[in-house]
A = this chain, B = another copy of it.
Amino acid sequence: MSRVVRDSIQILQAQGYKVTKPRRQVLEVLEEVQRPLSPYDIQRLLRQEGKYLNHVTIYRILDLFCCLNLAHKVLSSGGFVKCSLEGKGGCHRLMVCRCCGALQEFASEGLCQEENELAQNSGFHTEYHLSESSGVCSDCYKKQ
């Protein structure tokens, strides 16, 4: 079991949520594939491993995970809402490879500050932000 999954389970417990089989399974599959997955993607992947989860359950689990910052939503190619495991705390700078779908996450205090300042210049009070880049990852770039 990976570190991220173990941490997530601990957070669930600490907050008084049950550590159920469905919740573990969703965590595992998100960690396994390392790219954004929609609720139905998750259902399909689990089914391939012979595990069945009702889609409603998956929706509710993902809602909870987002609430607890164990996962978050990203805008992916095609515009669908996907979820991926949270990497570093609070960061939402993502790079999605348009070839293989791989997702990388990185943090930048500098960028955050600059963005906030620019927003404030027009009177906007930022509470949260998300930045997504679409492009080609290093692996896919080599293969071309």
A residues at B contact (CB < 8 Å): 73-75, 79-81, 93, 95, 97-98, 104, 106, 108, 110-111, 114-115, 118-119, 122-138, 141
Contacts and interface: CB of A to CB of B under 8 A. Distances in A.
The binding surface of chain A is classed by DSSP as strand
Contacts of A131: 115, 129-132
A115 B75 CA distance: 17
A126 B115 contact: no
A114 B127 CA distance: 22
Nearest to A134: B128
Nearest to A123: B138
B135 A125 contact: yes
Contacts of A79: 73, 81
